[in-house]
Amino acid sequence: MATIGAPDSAVPGQPPRLPGEETPEDPGQEPPYLDLDRLEARAREQLPASVYDYYAGGAETETTMAEAPASWRSWRLRPRVLRGTARVRLGTELLGTPVRTPIGIAPWAYQGMAHPDGELATARGAAARGALMTVSTSATHTLEEVAAAADGPQWFQLYRLHSNRHTDDLARRAGDAGYRALVLTVDVPLLGRRRRDLRHRFALPAGLRMANHPPEGDQPTLSDLATATWTFDDIARFGELSGLPVIVKGVLRGDDAARCVQAGASAVWVSTHGGRQVDPAIASAHALPEVVEAVGADVEIYADGGIRTGSDVLTALALGASAVFLGRPCVWGLATGGADGVAGVLAGLGEELTHTMALCGLDDVRSVPRDTITPAR
């Protein structure tokens, strides 16, 4: 069987199991890594309660987070028959960068809490599957260290959490380090109110550091604080500083998406920040069609938020997304299996996507028609 995630993937048979997992005694039992609830349960057993809740929790009542997976299931597939589908192609390009799968890794902070190698292991797992990784500003390894850890394509996600000077320097460093794009995360004018973190009085465990954050002497000045809120003008400015295409992440409205593109964004990322900011907010699955309609077919659009199955991925592609990104499933893969665990999650969802596309008479992730799905009745 061809490697899943290669440009030409065979219709799948039995997928490989995660390293460390036994083959199920019951041949009809789902392979363990496809059961993401089970994978999360294993991660929860291994992580301190405050760390697990940091990753697993959302903002306020956690309504946005809870509704996200079901929102993708508010659509139904309309399979085509007699199409002669023999091979499914998962390979595509994102802003001109070839990838072997449309399933990428979203940024998340403090990966060193989940595994000693943190972002370095995630980078290796993503590269093993030919997937694109987005590296967080709040990483436990420097952006240069993560870039050097694996030869897979990477984007750098940028927050404005520091002085203007330091934020600008991060953008320049990302360009110099070989990142393929800069991802401006714009839905954090201030942190969401995350009750689990407040209950635990969450703090980064001893021995870990926010490697891209400035030293104590480089904190925001009063003038920095006065201009701390980004505007549409910053899109082009950060593009010039970094020399990279700019993706705007955290967009949930069509009018905002159109303004981002007019201001110079190369792509738009529909995201609720994992349900960790505004709550309750519209689900990405429900915001995506409006964003696609607003910006047209010439602009790449990405989505995240509650994607847990291959059919969820296919639904996003049918709605107009060029790619989807995973957060928590990869956290649980990292916590339980390091780089191999991350690669296993990506492989599992790639297998599911390939299988579902074949059943629907589709053979290429780059050309999934809108009429592949219809609203559930």
Rounded distance, CA 340 to CA 43, Å? 14
Q: Which residues are catalytic?
A: 273
Query: Is 308 marked as a binding-site residue?
Result: yes
Rounded distance, CA 357 to CA 79, Å? 9
Query: Is 201 marked as a binding-site residue?
Result: no
Query: Is 255 marked as a binding-site residue?
Result: no
Query: Is 366 marked as a binding-site residue?
Result: no
What residues contact 354, with CB distance under 8 A and at least 6 apart? Answer: 4, 9, 11, 12, 88, 90, 310
> Which residues are 111's β-sheet partners?
none
In this structure, the strands spanning 87-88 and 9-10 are antiparallel
Nearest to 365 by CA among 1, 5, 3: 5
Distance, CA of 113 to chain centre: 18
What residues contact 55, with CB distance under 8 A and at least 6 apart? Answer: 47, 108, 113, 114, 328, 331
Query: Is 189 marked as a binding-site residue?
Result: no
Question: Dihedral angle at the C-alpha atoms of 270, 276, 277, 283, nearest 10 degrees?
Answer: 40
Residue 53 and residue 200 in contact, taking contact as beta carbons nearer than 8 Å: yes
Query: Is 80 marked as a binding-site residue?
Result: no
Query: Is 286 marked as a binding-site residue?
Result: no
Output the CA–CA distances (angstroms, integers) from residue 377 to 67, 75, 76, 306, in the order listed. Answer: 18, 9, 9, 21
Place of tokens 């994992």: 274
Inter-axis angle of helices 233-242 and 164-177, nearest 10: 50
Query: Is 138 marked as a binding-site residue?
Result: no
Query: Is 305 marked as a binding-site residue?
Result: yes
Query: Is 304 marked as a binding-site residue?
Result: yes
Query: Is 302 marked as a binding-site residue?
Result: no
Place of tokens 């508010």: 74
Query: Is 108 marked as a binding-site residue?
Result: yes
Query: Is 175 marked as a binding-site residue?
Result: no
What residues contact 120, with CB distance under 8 A and at least 6 apart? Answer: 141, 145, 146, 149, 150
Query: Is 141 marked as a binding-site residue?
Result: no
Structure-block tokens of residue 283: 């689900």
Query: Is 105 marked as a binding-site residue?
Result: no
Query: Is 259 marked as a binding-site residue?
Result: no
Query: Is 321 marked as a binding-site residue?
Result: no
What residues contact 39, with CB distance under 8 A and at least 6 apart? Answer: 32, 33, 329, 332, 333, 336, 345
What residues contact 237, with CB distance under 8 A and at least 6 apart? Answer: none
Query: Is 9 marked as a binding-site residue?
Result: no
Rounded distance, CA 333 to CA 39, Å? 7
User: Which residues are known binding-site members for FMN?
Assistant: 107-109, 136, 157, 185, 249, 271, 304-308, 327-328
**Known binding-site residue numbers for glyoxylate:** 54, 159, 194, 273, 276
Binding-site members are 54, 107-109, 136, 157, 159, 185, 194, 249, 271, 273, 276, 304-308, 327-328
